[in-house]
Structure 1
Amino acid sequence: MLPLASTCHLILASFDMTSVHIADLNLLRVLDLLLEEENVSRAAARLHLTQSAMSRSLARLRQLFGDELLLRTGRGMRPTARALELRPRLRAAVGEVDRLVSESPRFEPASARRRFRVAAVDYAHAVLLAPLLRAVATEAPGLDWELLPSPRPPDRALESGELDLSIEPRRTSGAGVVWSPLLEERYTCLVWRDHPLRRLDRAGFADLQHVMVAPWGRPGGVVDQALAATRARRRVAVQVPSFLLLPHVLVDTERIATVPRRIALLLAEAHPLRLLQPPVRVPGFTLYLAWHEIHRHDPAHVWLRARVQHEARKLANTGS
């Protein structure tokens, strides 16, 4: 069977294409039914149109094709020679349109070839995206992945298609950006394994040598806000842009970092570090998945979102 575009071109090639609009493609179905029924009233009923609307459509078809198409005779309406010539190609075109509309697009990860661009803070890269990439390495071997630092805000990059997803610790209000909560996280303190302190107290906490992770280079953070509520102020001895630098500035020192618990557990597994309970209440945060509305029904994107959400649920269920 000819492709839909080729079939439609063959049917429409006989008249001035400058007069054709997208709406005229609907007339192909009208003509198909008129030729099948050879009766305006019955064709109108099948399309849930009034007889006058069907008559107007027939007039438009006659204008487009430069032919009467159907003629009244003593025994009803009969197709012209031109209409009979068009009929098999018309039937093929309408059938192809029906298949095109009814087919549900599918995504087969095992055979798919596509590149996904996902932005996140390095916390999410480490605790969420790294396990995801391990899981899909055999499930979807043909997919390529580009992990990027999180833009602030991500809205424009999502809208333009530069990013497929962004994983963020806070929401923004960009038009068309959909935000879905992924994971709840709380804070803990991280120190060198041989740090002299075994527990932390509120009185001396602010005076310790604090390490602060500031991905965007901005001073201040949730710990500073928590201490401000107690009228205390900490000393930030070291500020770094990435959680992954923490082992290199904590080991063999008396410094301390207050970080999301899941990244602390990962770092403590790989380095001589241990966790301590914060002596002040540090509010946790929600990690969000952000994507643009234009991808809502893209099967590949639906799969991608579902896989990220699945990995997040696994983390939540293990309590890690």
Structure 2
Amino acid sequence: MSAFVNTGALDLNRLRVLHAVLELRSVTRAAAVLHVTPAAISNALAQLRETFADPLLVRSGRGLVPTPRAAALSPRLAEAMAAMARVADARLPFDPARSTRTFELACSDSEQISEVPAIAAAFARKLPRAQLKLLSVDQLEAGGGLAGGEADAAIAPAGPALGQGFHAEPLYEEEGVLVVRKGHPRAGRKMTRAQFNQLRHIDILVSLGKGGIGHDIVEAFFAEHGLKRDVAISVPSFAAAAAIASQTDWVAGLPRRLAQRFVRQLPLAIVEPPVPPVRFRMQLVWHDRTDADEGARCFRSVVMSAVRGSRSRAAR
């Protein structure tokens, strides 16, 4: 038999028939599921056999068994049917209670620890059947960013003006503090500029070995106030910086809310910097690609409401 398939002869409804019969191994049960007669199923199978030049299913005992050709087609048919279901769903109004969509949020591990628990709780209530997928800043950058379709939204510091096609909504303000190990000579004391410059520092580079917007803000702030960092080690996460600071005489700069959490879990102490703390304006960022999408708008609303509510409760 020829392996050639006349794709022009393929019909979506016939493929649905083949998928159902492969799943159920019965013409009668497939007819019941698809709400057609068994004769219609048999007719569709006959046409598919001609199209694929293969028997596709043969009788064995009281059931049907697939040929090797049909067995190879089965997982591809399942994927195609799932894709068609998603296309059909896209034509319907978005229903948060029924959606099984995956929503992707990019943020550093600082937000993953401090903000995502509240986001996850709100997500579970509003989108009970959907899936939340977190991406690191590295993954976002490597995947082409928000414009490239890697994520639906990102939590990031406000920095330079956003490029064309990007949107942002303010979330909260955060300030930076320093953490050192308990028993450190500087623990419990306000640091002078000279002492700051003499210490060895842990540098946090969350964006493909680079600092990202937050790092640039910190560096500019230190330069403005005559502070210099003698970097002992560079790490890709805030959690790693805190863990290392707890076991060395090195100092790490962390967002205050995250630092307050870590001092309850690790032998760390918060030290106030020698100048007023650097402040960050955190925002939710997204691209034109998802701006008008009903599902993405619902997801952004969940994120913004959860973060603002959590911050408001913590400030009381």
Shared fold (TM-score, shorter chain, > 0.5): yes
Give the 5 Å matches for 1:14-53.
Answer: none
- Distance in 2 of aligned mates of 1:154 and 1:287: 22
Moved over 6 A (4+): 152-155
Aligned residues: 217
CA RMSD of aligned residues (A): 2.8
Name stretches of at least 5 consecutive residues in structure 1 with no aligned partner.
1-103
- Distance in 2 of aligned mates of 1:229 and 1:177: 29
TM-score (norm. length: structure 2): 0.60
- Classify 1:107/1:274 alpha carbon distance in 2 versus 1 (closer, same or farther; 3 Å): farther
- The answer to whether the Cα contact below 8 Å between 1:190 and 1:257 also exists between their aligned partners in 2 is yes
- 2:166 aligns with 177
* 1:308 partnered with 2:295: no
- Classify 1:111/1:227 alpha carbon distance in 2 versus 1 (closer, same or farther; 3 Å): closer
- Distance in 2 of aligned mates of 1:159 and 1:227: 32
- 2:195 aligns with 204
Residue 221 of structure 1: how far off its partner (Å): 4.8
- Distance in 1 of aligned mates of 2:222 and 2:155: 28
* 1:191 partnered with 2:186: no
1:149 to 123, 127, 136: 136
- Distance in 1 of aligned mates of 2:134 and 2:189: 37
- 1:234 aligns with 229
| 3-state secondary structure, aligned to 2:115 | helix
Residue 208 of structure 1: how far off its partner (Å): 1.3
Residue 213 of structure 1: how far off its partner (Å): 1.1
- Classify 1:111/1:207 alpha carbon distance in 2 versus 1 (closer, same or farther; 3 Å): same
1:265 to 260, 264, 276: 260
- 1:256 aligns with 251
Residue 144 of structure 1: how far off its partner (Å): 1.3
The amino acid of 2:175's aligned partner reads R
* 1:130 partnered with 2:117: yes
- 2:146 aligns with 158
Deviations 1:259-316 (A, max 9, x none): 2112212222322222121112343111121112343332221211111111221233
- Distance in 2 of aligned mates of 1:106 and 1:281: 49
- The answer to whether the Cα contact below 8 Å between 2:175 and 2:280 also exists between their aligned partners in 1 is yes
* 1:213 partnered with 2:201: no
- Classify 1:182/1:110 alpha carbon distance in 2 versus 1 (closer, same or farther; 3 Å): same
- 2:315 aligns with 319
- The answer to whether the Cα contact below 8 Å between 2:180 and 2:252 also exists between their aligned partners in 1 is yes
| 3-state secondary structure, aligned to 1:135 | helix
- Distance in 1 of aligned mates of 2:296 and 2:221: 39
- Classify 1:111/1:237 alpha carbon distance in 2 versus 1 (closer, same or farther; 3 Å): same
- The answer to whether the Cα contact below 8 Å between 1:117 and 1:145 also exists between their aligned partners in 2 is yes
- Classify 1:287/1:232 alpha carbon distance in 2 versus 1 (closer, same or farther; 3 Å): closer
- 1:80 aligns with none
- The answer to whether the Cα contact below 8 Å between 1:182 and 1:312 also exists between their aligned partners in 2 is yes
Residue 188 of structure 1: how far off its partner (Å): 0.9
Give the 5 Å matches for 1:25-104.
Answer: none
Residue 235 of structure 1: how far off its partner (Å): 1.1
The amino acid of 2:200's aligned partner reads Q
Deviations 1:118-157 (A, max 9, x none): 1112222222223211333354331112211226769953
- The answer to whether the Cα contact below 8 Å between 1:111 and 1:140 also exists between their aligned partners in 2 is yes
- Distance in 2 of aligned mates of 1:253 and 1:155: 35
| 3-state secondary structure, aligned to 1:290 | strand
- 1:119 aligns with 106
The amino acid of 1:133's aligned partner reads A
> Identical aligned pairs, as a percentage?
28
